[in-house]
Chains A and B, each alone.
Chain A
Amino acid sequence: MSELVIQASELTRTFGDFTAVDRISFDVKAGEVFGFLGANGAGKTTAMRMLIGLLNPTSGTARVAGHDIYTESEAIKRSIGYMSQRFSLYEDLTPRENIRLYGGIYGLTLAQIRDRTDVMLKRLGLTQVAGQAVRSLPLGWRQKLAFSVALVHQPRIVFLDEPTSGVDPITRRQFWELIYEAASNGTTVLVTTHYMDEAEYCDRISIMVAGRIAAIGAPADLKREHGVASIDELFVGLARPEVPSSP
């Protein structure tokens, strides 16, 4: 249960003389819902790109799903799922076609794809619209389908980049129930969000400020340690610089 799915140590990335990620170290356990927070420009995206094997670090080490981020980035890509707010599904394809496409990309057999498609569509209540272009579905449905597609190859960890941005409040909560469900089945979830209430749904969070991890822990513990009533308050306190040193 306490197996570590992400182990990052002194992970650093510079661009020219700008240090985007500055010696960050943290672990994420199997089955954890881990909130990866920070202001725009704090280094979250750079850190996430290193962890999913899209960007080489300047220094430091990390293992994701047991694989080294320098030498085994292809193996990492196969063992993780990824979903962003901007792009996840092919909108001209139907839900069924999207599942088949992603299943194929991740090397599932046709029989596996067929079985998982039926289970997924049924569970999401999308069976009636399985043959309709994704474009025609409400955003909330698309987001939920995208999440399930990101899990089609049963990855050990899934990275969600602002998955609920702009989604209505009920769908936003239903989306989090899918996250809980995935986590209770042992999938590790690393999620970014600008909704501070969602930060409170996480088992643990980290808050990045100017390339460093300024706080890390369970939301309740962090609130107690910093004497604040909410994660929003903590976030504002940590992330608001005295003077705008970086735009």
Chain B
Amino acid sequence: MSAANGPAKAGPSEAASHRDVVRVDSVSKDFGSTVALDKVSFAVEKGELFGFIGPDGAGKTTLFRILVSLLVPGAGRASVLDLDVVRDYRALRQRVGYMAGRFSLYPDLSVEENLTFFASVFGTTIQREYEQIKPIYTQLEPFKDRRAAALSGGMKQKLALCCALVHRPDILFLDEPTTGVDAVSRREFWDLLGRLKEGGLTTVVSTPYMDEATRCDRVALMHRGRLLDVDTPDAITRGFDRPLLGVRAKERYKALLALRKFEHAHSAYPFGDVIHYTDKRTGVQPDRIANDLKAFLTANGFADVSVEPLTPTVEDSFIARTDSDPESRIPNPGRVA
């Protein structure tokens, strides 16, 4: 596991590698008494698809706004493409593409008019940049005369991505492009990001959907203004340090409540139709825990119980790293011990 708020982890090579296109060193930002960012450090390498994963209020938007020079850090330093985000903001703005979290296109302009407008701001045209935007624009072209306001959520996001790309930026910052978008359109959007990555574009993207972490080369787990971890999705889930068991029972909610009363229970959370369970004991084999759980639930009157070892997801890791945080929530029943 890499250090959370310590020196930046720069990927395979050590800190301040020449391949780093984003360098952030101990950046903090307050809004009055609210600490939005608390000594955040990380680096993004050229060509990476890098994700910030965290809920609303984690500080994702504040960080993105600092990186595209719309906000000045309260403390610390940040550079993008070797340009300081405060001193070199004019040069930086020509070279970054930014998609804000809220839909920020002109609702009364058509798809084509929006794109033409954003191209002209950067002194170019749709025709000249066609190759760059082609994979996305071909999906939008059938609706090019439609007003942006009349597009579905998924299509609006594709248009916004297109507008952020039209000036051939060297790096792309996408702040929650898939929030509120249905599961199918989200997949399609990530497919597009994958194609941009194949073209060599560095992309920094944020999302509250933990399952999207696996689409990234590396992710930063973000919570309450701090980075909990920065690593590949695989490394993050490998760091999950207890056996994880999936429990299925017919009466799922009652089984969940019962499991929390089991004497060795460490945590029990519902994940779809499975309950994810961890045990307080250390050094006990998963099979043994599974047998204990089956016996416990059967003795408590549950029928059709099945228990199997599971591979943790990024969401399991995120929960494990935040479930003993007493400040952020009402007493948490899922964390037993």
Contacts and interface: CB of A to CB of B under 8 A. Distances in A.
Contacts of A176: 270
Nearest to B256: A177
A174 B330 contact: yes
Interface residues of B, number: 48
Contacts of A168: 54-55, 223, 318, 322, 328
Interface string B171-214: 00000000111111111000000000000000000001110000
Nearest to A220: B273
Given A169-B315, A171-B329, A40 B273 contact: no
Contacts of B330: 124-126, 140-141, 144, 174
Q: For A126, A167, A177, which residue has the most chain B Cβ atoms within 10 angstroms?
A: A177
Interface string B133-157: 0000001101100100001111100
Contacts of B334: 170, 173-174
B331 A197 contact: no
A40 B208 contact: no
Given A39-B184, A140-B329, A247 B151 contact: yes
Interface in B14-62: 54-57
B139 A170 contact: no
A184 B183 CA distance: 29
Given A124-B330, A246-B152, A184 B184 contact: no
A166 interface: yes
Interface in B268-282: 269-273
Interface string B215-235: 000000001000000000000
Interface in B297-335: 315, 318-319, 322-323, 328-335
Contact of A165 (B140, B179, B210): B179
A173 B270 contact: yes
A197 B272 contact: yes
A139 interface: yes
A224 interface: no
A41 B209 CA distance: 20
A201 B270 CA distance: 8
A240 B183 CA distance: 10
Nearest to A180: B253
Contact of A197 (B143, B179, B271): B271
Contacts of A54: none
A42 B184 CA distance: 12
Contact of B332 (A170, A194, A240, A247): A170
Nearest to B250: A220
Interface of B: 54-57, 139-140, 142-143, 146, 151-155, 179-187, 208-210, 223, 252-253, 256, 269-273, 315, 318-319, 322-323, 328-335
